Amino acid sequence: MPAPLPRRAFLARTAALAGASLATTSRTRAAAASTATDDAVGRHKSELPTPALLVDLDTLDANIAKMAAHCRAAGCAHRPHAKTHKCPEIARRQIAAGASGVCCATVGEAEAMVAAGVRGVLLTSPIFDPRKFARMAALVGRAPDTLLSLGHALAAERLSAEAKRRGVTVDVLIDLDVGDHRTGITPGEPALALARAIARLPGLRLRGLQAYSGAASHTAGFEKRRAFSRAALAPAVETRALLRRAGFDAPLLSGGSTGTYNIDPGEGGLTELQVGSYVFMDVNYRVIGGQADALYADFAPSLSVLATVVNTSPAKPEQVVIDAGTKAFSSDSQDKPESKDGRALTYRRFGDEFGALTAAPGAALPKIGDRLEFLVPHCDPTVNLYDRLHAMRGDKVEAVWPIMARRG
Amino acid sequence: MPAPLPRRAFLARTAALAGASLATTSRTRAAAASTATDDAVGRHKSELPTPALLVDLDTLDANIAKMAAHCRAAGCAHRPHAKTHKCPEIARRQIAAGASGVCCATVGEAEAMVAAGVRGVLLTSPIFDPRKFARMAALVGRAPDTLLSLGHALAAERLSAEAKRRGVTVDVLIDLDVGDHRTGITPGEPALALARAIARLPGLRLRGLQAYSGAASHTAGFEKRRAFSRAALAPAVETRALLRRAGFDAPLLSGGSTGTYNIDPGEGGLTELQVGSYVFMDVNYRVIGGQADALYADFAPSLSVLATVVNTSPAKPEQVVIDAGTKAFSSDSQDKPESKDGRALTYRRFGDEFGALTAAPGAALPKIGDRLEFLVPHCDPTVNLYDRLHAMRGDKVEAVWPIMARRG
C-alpha cells in the first residue's frame, strides 16, 4: 500500500488536478457544442434534452466516501476503475477521498486521465501492439507512477524494448488468471517464470500481482460470493508467497470488485481494490444481494437515464413509448432499466431509439410528454454510450462532465 | 418525388457540401485528438490501434451506387437513414449519387447534418419537448427543406407554436403506425383527423405520410417479407387515397428499409425509401436471405471492426481472447460478429473489453498479436460506439471521419 501523502502536498495535488480537469472540460465542451445543445449548467432537470445521462452528486460523493472509509478501516488501498466513468472529474473526487489513483482498461483512457492531471494510473487490460507499448512508455515519461499489468512474456519483451527506447522504467504487475480464463498468466510456476523474465528485462520493475475474478464479482448471494472469491484468490496469494520465497519484493496484490469489496481485503487477500461500479451502481449489481439484504444496497444508485414518453397509441393502450433504446441503455445483460422512483413499470427494448413501458396491474402508465428516470442495467457500457454526464445537485445541473476516450 | 437538380446547381451544391463537411471534420478531429491517437490518415491497417471501426470505400461506394440505380429504375426517391452512419461524409456521397437528402433519428443528428451542409433532412422519430421543437424550427430557418414526421396532435400544436415564433413554415409528414405499435398514429380516420388539425395550425405544411414497418424489414425469407411488407403498407396507401379524396395534396409516402428496398417502391407503394443499413450491411441483415440467395447479398458488407488477439492461455488452449467486447460490438441481438474473411471462428462476448474466439474443428486458431476483421452484428448501434470511422482504400486509411451526434 502506498504511503499516504502529507496533507499539504495532498491539497496542492488536488487543486492542480481540479485545474487540469477544468481545462479539459472546457476544451471538450467547446468541441461538443458543435453538435450538441446549448449549455446545460444551471438548468432544471425538466429542461434537459432526453435521453440524458445524470449522476446525483450527493449520492456519488456518499458512495466515494463510504468506499474510502471502508478501505481505510480494512487497511487496504483502493485504485477505483475509471473504465466505469471515463470521467477525470470523478477520478479526482476518488483520489481526493483517498484512492491511490485509478485503473484504466485502455491506453486511451490512461492517456485521457494523465492529460487531465490524474496520477497513479494502472492499465489493467493486456495490450499487444508495438504502438500501444510505445504510448504507454511515453505516458510513464509524463507520469512515472503509471503501472501496467502484463500476463505474457512476449508483452513484457515489447514493453521493455519501448521503455529502453524512451529511457524510462515502467512499474508492472503480473496479471494472473484466477479462473476467468480471460486475461493473465497461470498462477504458480508460470507466473514465477514470468517474474524472472521481467527481472531480466531492462526498463521494467515488478511491483506485484493483479488478480481479478469477474465470475466472483457477480456471484449472487453473499456467502456464495465470499466462498467463490476466496477460492479464486487463493492461488494469487500463494503465488505472492512463491515470489517472495524466490526473492522478489513485489508486495502489491490488486484486484477485486464492487461485489467483493468487503470480502477480498486483508490477511490472505488483496492489498488494493479495483472497485468500479460502486460510484454509480446498476441493476446488475443490485440483484446479486448484499451481506444482509436481498438487494445489494451497500452503495446507492447515483446514475440514471432521463427519458421522455414520445408516443402513446390507442392500438396498444397498455404501453407507452420512450425515447431511450439500444443507444441509450446497454443491452449486454438480461437485466432491464428500472424506474428510479420505484414505479411498477416494465421496460422493453424497442429498437435503437425507443423503449416500451408497461405498468403492473393497478399502477398508472405515464402520459405523453412525461419524463422518467431509470436506473441502468449495467453502468460501464451505458456510460460509454454518452458524450456527457450531467452532474446534478438535486434537480439542478451543477456541471456537465465530458466522458473521455471512447472507442477510436 | 422531388424534381432532380439541374447539373450545374447539383455540382455547386456538392462542392459546398464537401467544403462544409471538411471544416466540420477538421474541427471535430482536432477536438478528438486531445484524447485520441495520432493521425491515422495514410497508415496501413496493421498500424491502427484496435479495436478500430473500418469502412471499405470501394464497397461503400458500390452499395451507394447500386441503391441509387435501383431507385432511379424503380421511379422511387430515396432519403437514406443517417442514423446508420452519423457521418456527413457518407450523407454527402449518398446525395451526390442521387438521394433526396437524409433521414435522421434525433434532433442532434439533424443539426449535425445541417451544420455540415447536408440538406433535405427528415426527422423520422417523434419528439415531445418544447426545446426540441424550438431547435427544429430554428433548423428550418437555416435549411427550409427540412422535414419532420409527426404522429400526435399535441406534437403538431407545439411545433406550430415554435414555427410561428420563428416565422418559418415547417414541412411535415404524418407518421403512421403500420403495425409496429411503436410510433405514429393509426392509419385511416385518425390520420385524416390529424391532417385536418395540421391544416388548421399556422406554420405547418403537410407534405405526405411516413410508414415504416420495423417488423417487415427483418422478416426472414423474401416471399414472406414481401407479403408482410405489402400487408403493412396497405393501410398507408389507403390513407393517402383518403387524404386525397379529402382534398389534401400530400403526395410523399416515405418509409421502407434495406430489407424491403426491392418490395416497397412503385404503384401502391412508397414514393421514397428510408434505407439505412445498405451502406454498411451487417450480420442481422445477411441472415434474412435475399430474393435469390440464402444469405442476403444484394449489398456487400463494407463495415468491419479490426481487433487484436491479446491473450492466449494454456489453461484454455481452445480459445483466444481479443480486445473487442461489449464496448466494441453492439449486443442488442443474438447474432455474433463474423470473421470478415470467412474463417471458421466463433465469437463470444467476454465482458466490456474482450471477446473470446474458438475455432471449428480443423480450423486454425489465431495466435497472440494476430489482427482480425469482423463483420458486425448490427451496424447502427455498433457505429454509435465509436468516435471515428476509418475510411479504407484497400489496406490504407484514406480518411478518418468523425461520427457525430451521439447521445447527450
Task: Decide if B332 and A328 are in contact by the 8 Å CB cutoff.
Answer: no
Q: Answer whether residue B240 shows pLDDT above 60.
A: yes
Rounded mean pLDDT of B241-248?
98
Query: Which among B126, B332, B356 has the least Cβ separation from residue A310?
Result: B126
Can you tell me the mean pLDDT for A172-193? 97
The confidence band for B301, taking pLDDT boundaries of 50, 70 and 90, is very high
Query: Which of A54, A353, A404 to substitute to test the interface with B, most B CBs within 10 Å?
Result: A353
Q: What is the pLDDT of residue A408?
A: 60
Alpha helix stretches (DSSP H) within B276-326: 283-286
- Weakest mean pLDDT among A281-285, A338-342, B36-40: B36-40
pLDDT of residue A37: 44
- Dump pLDDT digits (tens) for A221-248: 999 999 999 999 999 999 999 999 999 9
Per residue in B319-369, pLDDT (tens digit) is: 999 999 999 999 999 999 999 999 999 999 999 999 999 999 999 999 999
CB contact under 8 A, A356 and B182: yes
Among candidates A36, A132, A182 on the partner chain, residue whose Cβ is nearest the Cβ of B49: A132
B18 against B207, higher pLDDT: B207
Strand arrangement, sheet containing A77-78? A77-78, A272-273, A252-255, A204-211, A170-176, A147-150, A121-123, A102-104
pLDDT grade for A176, boundaries at 50, 70 and 90: very high
Above 90 in pLDDT, residue B26? no
Q: Is the confidence at residue A29, as pLDDT, over 80?
A: no
How far is the alpha carbon of B385 from chain A, nearest alpha carbon, in Å?
6
How far does B101 lie from chain A, in Å, by closest CA? 19
Q: Which of the four pLDDT bands, split at 50, 70 and 90, describes residue B408?
A: low
**Which of 73-92 (B) contact A at CB < 8 A?**
83
User: Nearest-CA residue of chain A relative to B112?
Assistant: A35
ipTM of the complex model: 0.90
Which residues 109-138 on chain A approach chain B with CB closer than 8 angstroms? 111-112, 115, 125-129, 131-132, 135
Q: Chain A: nearest CA to B353, how far in angstroms? A: 7
Quote the pLDDT of residue B405.
82
Distance from CA of B69 to the nearest CA of A (A): 28
Q: Which of residues 160-199 of B touch A (CB under 8 A)?
A: 177, 181-186, 190
Helix (H) or strand (E) holding B276: none
pLDDT tens sequence across B274-291:
999 999 999 999 999 999
pLDDT of the residue at B274? 98
Percent of chain A with pLDDT over 70: 90
Q: How big is the A-B interface in CB pairs under 8 Å?
A: 231
Identify which of A111, A214, A315 has the shortest CB distance to residue B186. Answer: A315
Q: Mean pLDDT over residues A137-141, rounded?
A: 98
- Which pLDDT score, from 0 to 100, does residue B39 have? 82
Q: How far is the C-alpha of B3 from the C-alpha of B236, rounded, in Å?
A: 23
Cβ–Cβ gap A128/B182 under 8 Å: no
pLDDT in tens, A328-370: 999 999 999 999 999 999 999 999 999 999 999 999 999 999 9
- pLDDT bin (cut points 50, 70, 90) of residue A272 is very high
Q: Tell if the CB–CB gap between B331 and A328 is shorter than 8 Å.
A: no
User: Taking 50 as the threshold, does the pLDDT of residue A20 lie above it?
Assistant: no
**Inter-chain contact B352–A105, Cβ cutoff 8 Å?**
yes
Judged by CB atoms closer than 8 Å, whether chains meet at A182 and B350 is answered as yes
- Is residue A177's pLDDT more than 70? yes
* Facing residue for B152 by CB, picked from A27, A115, A368: A368
Using the beta-carbon criterion (under 8 Å), do B352 and A154 form an inter-chain contact? Answer: no
Question: Do the Cβ atoms of B405 and A131 come within 8 Å?
Answer: no
| A contact residues 293-322, partner B, Cβ 8 Å cutoff | 308-316, 319, 321
CA distance B7 to chain A (A): 31
Helix, strand or coil, per DSSP, at residue B59: helix
Q: For residue A39, give how far its alpha carbon lies from the nearest alpha carbon of chain B (Å).
A: 11
Are B369 and A154 within 8 A, CB to CB? Answer: yes
pLDDT, tens only, B63-94: 999 999 999 999 999 999 999 999 999 999 99
Could you tell me the domains of chain A?
7-40+57-286 (3.20.20.10), 303-402 (2.40.37.20)
Residues in chain A with CB shorter than 8 Å from the CB of B153 are none
Ramachandran region, residue A281 (left: φ > 0; alpha: ψ -120 to 50; beta: rest): left
Nearest CA in chain A to B136: A37
CA distance linking residue A29 with residue A120, whole number of Å: 26
pLDDT at position A16 is: 38
